[in-house]
Amino acid sequence: MSRLAIVLLAYLPALLWAEVAPHRGYPHQDYPPRVKPIIESRCMVCHGCYDAPCQLKLDDWIGLERGASKDKVYDGTRLLSANLTRLYEDALSTEEWRGKGFYPVLEREDITQSVLYKMLSLKEKYPLPSEGPLPDNFDFRLDRNQSCPRPSQFGLYNQNRPYQGMPFGFPGVDPDRMKVLADWLHSGAPGVDIPARSGAESEAVARWEAFFNQPSNKARLMSRYIYEHLFIGNLHFDTLPNSGWYKLVRSRTAPGQPIDIIATRRPYDDPGTEAFYYRLQQRYTSILDKRHMPYALNPARMARWQALFLTPEYEVTRLPDYRGREAANPFISFEQLPVDARYRFMLDEAHFTIMAYIKGPVCRGQVALNVIDDHFWVAFTRPNNLDPEQKADFLAEEAHHMRLPQPKGSLTVTLLQWRGYARNQKRYLEAEARKVAEVIDDTDIQLNMELIWDGDAQQNPNAALTVFRHFDSATVVKGHVGQYPKTMWVIDYSLLERIHYLLVAGFDVYGAIGHQLESRLYMDFLRMEGEQNFLLLLPREDRRKLRNYWYRGAGDHVRDFVLSRDNESYERDTAVEYQSDNHKQELMDMFRAHIPAATNPRYALENDALATLMAGPRKAYSYLPEVAFIQLLSRNGSRRAYSLVRNRGHSNIAQLFGEENRLLPEEDTLTVAPGFIGSYPNMFFQLTEAELPRFAAAVQALDSDADYTKLVERFGVRRTAPWFWRLSDDFVAEYRRRHPVEAGLFDLNRYQNR
């Protein structure tokens, strides 16, 4: 009998009881079936992420029970970290949330006095106009002052903001749906019990919890590594029908007992107890696209991890502790885990790995995201191929040069700090270059496309990715999508690991502004490293020219650092043979040819009129929003959705502030793709096939804000449109129909008022 089977048998006697009480705190309840779709489609679309107005997160019934708060999660001036207010983690009862300053939005003794009921009734009493933009006294800025009235303060809100009932700035809930909500509220807004999961799903939970809690040092170190990478994911059993969604958590209690979650700011923080267990905690939140990162658990996955981490012959002589800076440095904490296993673990689901940094809990990330271009492609180095980083001792030896920023309270990020990181980064890259040179001199390996991971024999679709930045949010998709981007990243193991620990495991959305700014500062160097790995495959004479183009107008300290890589010690000649004069474009074509998954048919654009919008850069596109969805109405009555994604041109992205001064509108491009790219649509367009050529021509002819307003008047769907909700529901329904596992609700907080 295997060790895993023995561990599993030890936990089986408690499984039945575990079904009764799987975790401590709130009861298993959800919105009633008739109520939930209304709350999702009319309320959660603005009250779902961490920046939900007044922290009223309605994506779970317990969020409604928790209520609202006048404190903001996003505060660009705080010197100290804010209190944590994560559902399921930082308080486990209504009473505990009241102690953290949350106040009720329901008054069950007289529901007509509750804030929620009054907000909905206010919209019924004072409906919005049915056409045109809303007046300027509607403030839709994300950093607007929020009223967040308590029940006793609602009279003043009613007097000052009569037209600002809920849904805020959108048409009201239609009478039929409003009656369902009103009846539910008058009955006390009860939740309903959630059916127990199936026996097969309970058995799957037991098997996985047994796998994660095997007693050997090798297994315990593996589980810690997996937890620190998957803690942010929505886990599910893809081989079971109607699987629930789970979070991998640390618990004080063993499998079979109610989960007693250990809530820490970061996954590598000290759990505060010697004995703890990795558990799968079922979550009942509705799926929002912004935060949804699905990750499948199945027998093949378990076998893969067994083969990567447990079957190989190696010894883990000690387990790392959770104290000091070493806990935050994976090259030290996991030195005894094979580097090849770690890298392959992340590559297997590289889309998830990058998505965790692109999506994640950060609902607003303009300062964090202005470190990346608006559109770029990503590829990865092949494991165990010209990679000195595959040696754990090398990584541990150089770990002090790769030290990630620690939480800070200062509001300032200085040039001195930048230069300090630059020195450490340069020392690490020089050490890496020496190791690379040793490998090249001792082997016949050359700098060519054979160094690039092609997805292995299974043609893993994670081998090629595209990132789109939408000002303060971003999207990552599989494949090399859209026109040729300005830049491309080639990511190796240590770079991928550092990105994860900087912007996922180590990033605190509740942290002081200094921590967030310094994280952005450090990411500068990681971006440059990814870009440089791409440049190494180009002829040497192209590299400086392209770097100069990417960093136009950057400060001298940035240019000095970037150009310092023109050093013979770590810039070798490429072995790639070129046939054309456009080496960069030819190289990108080679990536597409080398990686089968680089061409993703999901985003193939077959509509000629829309394809013309991707012909090249145009200043006209600078008048468009970041993300727009089109509903194209066919003659046969069918409907199809497309995304318009504006990619802004920059002179450089190497400076922390003043982004608006580095925009180059004449270099803006537009990516058009079937389906949905982006979680925060700024505008909906609705048109027929016959109108499509006129729409495309009007977009290309934009020359002023007034022209864009005319475009919206002709083809757009304003906030006030009586059919707004019908179209919004159509988009979500199409998303769910085509991609049921990944689909989530779109967030409408950034929808334009034009």
- Same domain flag for 237 and 332: no
pLDDT in the model for residue 3: 54
pLDDT in the model for residue 319: 95
CA distance 217 to 317: 7
CA distance 210 to 568: 52
**Would you say 166 and 43 are in contact if contact means Cβ atoms under 8 Å apart?**
yes
Residue 112 resides in a domain: yes
Task: Name residue, tokens 């000195």.
Answer: 388
Q: Quickly list DSSP for 670-708.
A: EEEEES---SS-SEEEEEETTTHHHHHHHHHT--SHHHH
pLDDT in the model for residue 404: 56
**Would you say 195 and 35 are in contact if contact means Cβ atoms under 8 Å apart?**
no
Residue 306 resides in a domain: no
Residue 754 resides in a domain: no
Residue 639 bridge partners (DSSP): 633
Which of 164, 192, 220 is the C-terminal boundary of a domain? Answer: 192
Residue 371 resides in a domain: yes
- Same domain flag for 535 and 557: yes
- Same domain flag for 153 and 215: no
CA distance 206 to 297: 12
CA torsion, ordered 575, 578, 581, 587, to nearest 10 deg: -80
pLDDT in the model for residue 151: 86
Which of 142, 157, 192 is the C-terminal boundary of a domain? Answer: 192
CA distance 602 to 606: 11
End-to-end Cα spacing for the chain: 67
Phi/psi at 221 (5° precision): -70, -40
pLDDT in the model for residue 374: 95
pLDDT in the model for residue 358: 80
CA distance 420 to 400: 12
pLDDT in the model for residue 311: 97
- Whose CA is closest to 388, among 319, 452, 339? 339
Task: Name residue, tokens 């990681």.
Answer: 526
Residue 344 resides in a domain: yes
pLDDT in the model for residue 25: 62
For 444, the 3-state DSSP assignment is coil
- Same domain flag for 178 and 279: no
- Same domain flag for 237 and 99: no
- Same domain flag for 183 and 266: no
Task: Name residue, tokens 């934009």.
Answer: 702
Expressed as residue numbers, the domain containing 108 is: 29-192
- Same domain flag for 178 and 220: no
- Same domain flag for 144 and 213: no
Which of 158, 174, 192 is the C-terminal boundary of a domain? Answer: 192
List, run by run, the mean pLDDT of 10-residue segments along the chain (754 residues): 51 41 65 97 92 91 93 68 85 92 91 92 93 90 84 88 92 96 93 93 98 98 98 97 96 96 94 96 93 96 98 95 84 92 97 87 60 94 65 58 53 56 65 61 75 89 96 93 96 92 81 66 83 93 92 77 55 89 97 96 92 96 98 94 97 83 96 97 97 97 98 97 98 98 96 96
- Same domain flag for 18 and 34: no
pLDDT in the model for residue 546: 94
CATH at 646: 3.30.1050
- Same domain flag for 583 and 452: yes
What is the count of structural domains for the chain? 4
Residue 638's CB is within 10 A of a number of other CB atoms, namely: 8
Rg (CA), the chain: 26
Alpha carbons within 13 angstroms on the beta-carbon side of residue 187 total 13
- Same domain flag for 547 and 610: no
pLDDT in the model for residue 327: 86
Residue 747 resides in a domain: no
pLDDT in the model for residue 17: 36
- Same domain flag for 589 and 610: no
